[in-house]
Amino acid sequence: MNLPTLSQLLSPFPVDAFTRQFDNRAPVVLRPVISTPLDLPRLDAFVAERGLRWPTIHLESAAGAVHPDGYSEPVAWGRGQAAYLVDVGALRAGLERGERVVLAELQRHHGPTALLLRAYEQCTHMRGSATAVLAPAEAEPRTPPVLAEHQYLLQCHGTRHCTVTGPDGEAEDFELVVGCVLYVPPGHQVSTAPLRGPSLSLDMRLRPIRVRDLAAAELRSIPRDRLRASVPVGLGQDPTTLATRWSELVNQLLDDVDHQETLEALVDRYVQTRLPLLRGQLKASTQSIRVDTAVRRRPVVMYRIVDKGDSVDLRFHGKTISFPRGTDEVVQYMASSERWTPADLENVPPEHQLAIVKRLVAEGFCELV
């Protein structure tokens, strides 16, 4: 499964139309032109093949989480520690009672879900998580708490009825069929219930950069000696004078702050701290690379190209590879081309072409096509 583009994820709405009309404003049903990462047979095989433990997989009823004693068995490991292995048969019995099977943080265990979530993360620069919910038709509505996060509810099997309530109390009903995604903006409450048979859904949450994150980053960029300076004597005697003088002090502190640099630093920290998906990376060092070997950037790699003046930095997943000054076009070509070979790096001396490609493959930025 290749990473879809933002226009595919927001289909049928053009990106600018979605951003203008719905993003952070109102719920809407999206119809992505990508296949769902899960269905009932693949979910059953996934659970059967993995020794999943509580609370990674657990049961929920209308009243909340079901106690794990009824569907898990403790297995001792280490000194005084135990893991709670889940009984798949007990999960099926819970479904028959109208309870839901919930797989939290599914992107940590299921590759296709991780790829889909990474696509959203790359396009929006938000941190995400995914939860799979398998519910019978008899299940009561599931109402996650109101969060300051963007939610994308993807229907993988069956049909689901969703009610979204906005901050003003206005409610809107949606019916999701397989392949549809319901976008729920922050501050909206959503309740979901299956219709006409079992429902398998993937609920993704994306956490954006918050205003307080920006404010904290700008405060960190102010020299400490300025933050430790005392306010003028008598500042608190008159509330009106206090408000005016404090406003002047804040403006003075922020005068020298580079807002663009602060935003760049936040995005860079986000990209550098994301966990990489490096399938097949252990085999990279054993593969032969020649001047005509076709390579490409790994589709799941999140990266940034930063011109430092005296060098060009390629940053990805906590790593930084520096290239000489003036090579920004070469680095951009290696990162954006769908398929290329070491010999295609025309502006790079032949003796360095193979070394660069081998380094990029070894670090996990590139893979052999």
What does the pLDDT look like over 253-269, one tens digit per residue? 888 888 888 888 888 88
Question: Using the 8-state DSSP alphabet, how is residue 309 labeled?
Answer: S
- pTM for the structure as a whole: 0.80
How far apart are the C-alpha atoms of 144 and 162, rounded to whole Å?
12
**What DSSP assignment string belongs to 145-156?**
PP-SSEEEEEEE
Whether residues 16 and 150 share a domain: the answer is yes
pLDDT tops 90 at residue 28: yes
Whether residues 219 and 191 share a domain: the answer is no
- Integer CA distances (angstroms), 81 to 55, 70, 77, 85, 311, in order: 15, 20, 6, 13, 50
How far apart are the C-alpha atoms of 228 and 107, rounded to whole Å?
44
Structural domain of 310? 281-368
What confidence score (pLDDT) does residue 321 get? 94
Q: What is the CA radius of gyration of the chain?
A: 25
All residues at 6 or more sequence positions from 88 whose CB lies less than 8 Å from its CB, including other chains: 47, 48
pLDDT tops 70 at residue 236: no
In a domain, 1, yes or no: no
What does the pLDDT look like over 51-84, one tens digit per residue? 788 888 999 998 888 988 888 888 877 777 778 8
Whether residues 110 and 217 share a domain: the answer is no
Whether residues 95 and 134 share a domain: the answer is yes
How far apart are the C-alpha atoms of 304 and 291, rounded to whole Å?
26
In a domain, 276, yes or no: no
Q: Look at residues 293, 308, 298 and name the one whose alpha carbon lies nearest to residue 277.
A: 298
Whether residues 261 and 360 share a domain: the answer is no
Taking 3-state DSSP, the helix, strand and coil percentages for the chain, each rounded to the nearest 5, stand at: 35, 30, 35
- The token pair at 159 is 């049909």
How far apart are the C-alpha atoms of 208 and 362, rounded to whole Å?
32
In a domain, 346, yes or no: yes
How far apart are the C-alpha atoms of 150 and 185, rounded to whole Å?
5
What confidence score (pLDDT) does residue 53 get? 83
Q: Look at residues 217, 19, 278 and name the one whose alpha carbon lies nearest to residue 123.
A: 19
Whether residues 40 and 160 share a domain: the answer is yes
Question: Is 270:341 a contact under the CB 8 Å cutoff?
Answer: no
Whether residues 21 and 148 share a domain: the answer is yes
Whether residues 46 and 165 share a domain: the answer is yes
Amino acid at 242: L
Domain count, the chain: 3
How far apart are the C-alpha atoms of 62 and 51, rounded to whole Å?
26
In a domain, 153, yes or no: yes
**What DSSP assignment string belongs to 51-64?**
--EETTEEEEETTE
- Between 150-154, 182-186, 188-192, 246-250, the lowest mean confidence (pLDDT) is in 246-250
Whether residues 154 and 219 share a domain: the answer is no
What does the pLDDT look like over 284-318, one tens digit per residue? 766 788 999 999 998 888 899 999 889 999 999 88
What confidence score (pLDDT) does residue 272 get? 85
CA atoms within 13 A on the CB side of 178: 13
Between 79 and 113, the higher pLDDT residue: 113
Question: Is 176:155 a contact under the CB 8 Å cutoff?
Answer: yes
- The token pair at 329 is 């076009």
In a domain, 316, yes or no: yes
CATH number at residue 332: 3.90.930.40
What percent of the chain has pLDDT above 90?
46
What would the mean pLDDT of 33-41 be, rounded to a whole number?
88
Whether residues 216 and 296 share a domain: the answer is no
CATH number at residue 113: 2.60.120.650
What confidence score (pLDDT) does residue 147 get? 83
Which residues face 73 on adjacent strands? 85
How far apart are the C-alpha atoms of 96 and 144, rounded to whole Å?
22
Q: If you search the block for the tokens 């979910």, which residue do you land on?
A: 43
